[in-house]
A and B are shown apart, each in its own frame.
Chain A
Amino acid sequence: MGKIAGTSSLQAVDLHCVRGERKLFGALNFTLRSGELLRIAGANGSGKTSLLRIACGLLEPTRGEVRWGGKDIRRLQEEFWRQLVYVGHANSIKDDLTATENLHVACTLAGVPRQAAQIGEALRRLGLAGCENLPARVLSQGQRRRVALARLALSKGAPLWILDEPFAALDAAAVEHVQDLIAEQLSRGAAVILTTHLEARITAAAALRIDLEAT
């Protein structure tokens, strides 16, 4: 399996996050290197999603900064986002488009256009054979999540994956597939951040864990 060229480390420096009046976390530091998995744990409302959104650059931290290869991601902007795959809480799927069209748009926007054949293969890998040309509105919640996660199978060159509750709404077989995808990506030298309530069994060279209630 080919290694990903040009991986960098993601570094959080003294992150504080206040939403409304509530302080979610403060003085959070971590460094995530190539091939490492970071799992963020915590109860509902403890700021897991906020932390992921800060790490993506969607949300501005109240204080502190996130660095990619030593540079602030707010300065890097597109240069950072080109290397990032973010699968958020929402599936980012248009109901009126088919699964294939949705993935085609998502990959093109991410700067890595994919052919229909590659998209079909990614969908089959997630167990969606036969659903390629169905509009997303007729898919079940779990199937829609699978479409969103099929992006991972199409983004093997991205050195950073940030996944918000990737296993939500998935059945056991699909959880297995996604865990395999993540383990493969880690072995390629990418870094992965995820939040999950499941005790995920993912083999990684190094697994970090941040418990948000503890901070």
Chain B
Amino acid sequence: MLAALRCVIYRDLLLAVRRSSDVLTVLLFFVIVVSLFPLGVGPDPALLRTIAPGVIWVAALLASMLALNRMFASDHADGTLEQMLLGATPLGMTVAAKILAHWVISGLPLVLISPVLALQFDFPREFLWTLTLSLAFGTPVLSLIGAIGAALTLGLRGAGALLSLLVLPLYVPVLIIGAGAADAAVSGLGGQAQLLLLGALLVFAGAFAPWAAAVALRISTE
């Protein structure tokens, strides 16, 4: 079974390498959206410092939405999804492997580049790690929750818009806690409480979301 999971992760990463434009689109979208804010609200350092965590988090949310459509759609179109549904591995595990690969492709690059973007906002350097950690805990949760939405809207007309309507409200708690972590750190309260909460959310979503997505996949491929 582990061989099958390794194989799914390897396959998805290999596909991402061969279609690297898909990965770059998400990353560039994130960079551009974040960079638009200083241009839009003006160069007041105090204001930029205040809005930095929120802006970076909202941009990460939108960027991860952008990548969600592709999580199952291409596998559905070419029939490889059917082979996963009929695989020897429980579907929930296969879906978990796919979500992990999806996060490595679309979430991890955002986490890694976020400290650089935060510097654009003159975000205090000593708190950069809180912001990065909050994204490191938060973006996998976004992928996990998004997988359920992507599975539910698979094969529907206008799936993209529907997916946003379905999933963005569910992202709200992650956004509030995630952006709150960096805010709390800057205001001297320490972001540990929020980071722990994000960690708890991650464990919870990691345990349940793949199975929910698996059930949704079975329903939407009927």
Contact = CB atoms under 8 A, between A and B. Distances in A.
B161 to A, nearest CB: 25
A90 B82 contact: yes
B7 A108 contact: yes
Interface string A93-112: 11111000100111011111
The 3 closest A-B CB pairs, nearest first, are A90-B79, A111-B88, A92-B79
Given A101-B14, A108-B7, A92 B78 contact: yes
B80 A81 contact: no
A135 B4 CA distance: 22
Contacts of A82: 88
B89 interface: yes
A93 B80 contact: yes
Interface size class of B (residues with CB under 8 A): 20 to 34
A94 B74 CA distance: 9
B221 A109 contact: no
A57 interface: yes
Contacts of B221: 58
B18 interface: yes
A77 B82 CA distance: 14
Contacts of B46: none
Given A58-B222, A90-B79, A108-B4, A97 B11 contact: yes
A86 interface: yes
Interface of A: 56-60, 77-78, 81-82, 84, 86, 88-97, 101, 104-106, 108-113, 135
B76 to A, nearest CB: 9
Q: Is the interface of A mostly helix, strand, loop or mixed?
A: loop
B199 to A, nearest CB: 31
B201 interface: no
B3 A108 contact: yes
Contacts of A92: 78-80, 82-83
B89 A109 contact: yes
Interface in B106-138: none
Contacts of B79: 88-93
B166 interface: no
Given A90-B77, A101-B14, A112-B88, 7 more contacts: A81-B87, A81-B88, A94-B80, A97-B11, A104-B7, A106-B83, A109-B94
A56 B8 CA distance: 22
Contact of B8 (A88, A89, A97, A109): A109
Interface string B12-29: 001100110000000000
21 contacts: A58-B85, A58-B222, A59-B222, A78-B89, A78-B90, A81-B87, A82-B88, A88-B79, A90-B77, A92-B79, A94-B11, A94-B78, A96-B14, A96-B15, A96-B19, A104-B7, A105-B8, A105-B11, A109-B4, A109-B88, A113-B3
A204 to B, nearest CB: 24
A14 B88 CA distance: 27
Contact of A88 (B15, B19, B82, B222): B82
